[in-house]
Amino acid sequence: MRSLLTMILLTLFWNCLGQNQSQQLIEQTAQKVGIQNSDIFSRLATSQKFDNGILIVIPEITEEGEGYIILNSNIIFTDNKTGAVKAKYSGQKDWSIDAVSIDKIEIEPKLYQLNELTTAFALKIFYSNQSRPNPYSSTQLSLYALEGNELNRVLKDFPMKSFNGETDTTCKGEFEEHSKNMQVLNTFSNNYADLKFIDKIELSERNEDCEKVKADTRKEFEILKYENGEYKNKA
């Protein structure tokens, strides 16, 4: 019993230490790029370590009012050892929180190789509302290509997952759900790999006990090609 309690306390200690170190890293990086700590929307700020550096996401409050917040995006790549800024992307009013909230921002730990010289970081934004009659959630993907000392956004807010429905405010209702997987292809457009998305779509009905009583599924495919600095659907 004593060893179990010790293990729990150690786990809590290391979790708190990790959170404090992450917050310190975010604040130090914000200062380097001219962002005041008071303007950081800390709940969504995050970081991810890679072999060649650390990617840090700092949402910066640019406007707020009753029931809404608008955020600038700051995607910053720093040196593992020195903390020096190696590359940066800043977007004006990229994200907003209102009736649809941002639950979290997640950096994928995987890098995507777009050509021999270019790798991309993947950022996922998780959205949802609190509506019982019309529930909604969405996960959107953005890709940031590391090109020399620049980070360039090559894919913006591409929907990877979505869920929406119409209900009687409990569980009974009709729902539509999309879930996509991305593949980097060996075909190229303008020297960048094409991206293939496989979308699993489910249309369903649920009863009062939240059980599916009817469901139809199908798959669709979509290929995005690189043109003029970003990925587009050329279909």
Contact 25, 54 (CB under 8 A): yes
State yes or no: pLDDT of 17 exceeds 80: no
State yes or no: pLDDT of 136 exceeds 50: yes
What pLDDT is stored for residue 3 in this prediction? 61
State percent of the chain over pLDDT 90: 82
Q: Which residue has the higher pLDDT, 19 or 168?
A: 168
Q: Which residue in this structure is represented by tokens 């700590």?
A: 37
Q: What is the pLDDT of residues 70-123, one digit of tens each?
A: 999 999 999 999 999 999 999 999 999 999 999 999 999 999 999 999 999 999
Radius of gyration of the chain (CA): 21
Q: What is the pLDDT of residues 191-220, one digit of tens each?
A: 999 999 999 999 999 999 888 888 999 999
